[in-house]
């Protein structure tokens, strides 16, 4: 089970950190991804990290602004979001997939959390 948390309301240019805590899953054997879905839009990949080798993926729209990192001891993945823009507003979901699935494509990610809402005001 994956539990996403930390969403909220932030102004343009602000920062927010969201968390994905796992229970019943040992994240050492997975890639963990953050995906987001805005109203009326398809779900898109934001960032992914593989626990096996630490390799990462970032979408072009967040590269340089967002950082994904893991805390093995807490079995948790974080997404630090800086320089937030109104277009970052969405529900953010975390998901677990095979360790080689370091891609923004949500297909193949088997376990999904419930989502946390991030709203960036202009």
Check residue 6 and give its pLDDT.
98
The alpha carbon of residue 10 and the mean position of all alpha carbons in its chain are separated, in whole angstroms, by 17
The CA-based angle 42-19-28, given to 5 degrees, is 95
Arithmetic mean of pLDDT over the chain: 94
Buried residues in 48-79 as b, exposed as e (16+ CB within 10 A):
bbbbeeeeebbbeebeeebbbebeeeebbbbb
Check residue 53 and give its pLDDT.
84
| pLDDT tens, position by position, 31-87 | 999 999 999 999 999 999 998 888 999 999 999 999 999 988 899 999 999 999 999
Which tokens hold the place of 79? Answer: 């997404």
User: Which is higher by pLDDT, 9 or 29?
Assistant: 9
| pLDDT tens, position by position, 92-112 | 999 999 988 899 999 989 999
């Amino acid at each position: 089970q994956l539990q996403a948390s930390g969403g909220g309301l932030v102004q343009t240019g602000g920062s927010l950190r969201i968390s994905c805590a796992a229970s019943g899953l040992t994240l050492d054997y997975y890639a963990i991804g953050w995906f987001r879905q805005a109203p009326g839009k398809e779900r898109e990949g934001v960032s992914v990290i593989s626990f096996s080798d630490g390799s990462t993926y970032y979408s072009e729209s967040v590269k340089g602004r967002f950082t994904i990192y893991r805390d093995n001891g807490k079995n948790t993945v974080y997404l630090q979001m800086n320089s937030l823009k109104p277009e970052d507003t969405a529900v953010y979901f975390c998901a677990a997939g095979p360790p080689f699935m370091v891609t923004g494509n949500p297909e193949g990610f088997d376990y999904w959390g419930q989502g946390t809402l991030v709203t960036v005001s202009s």
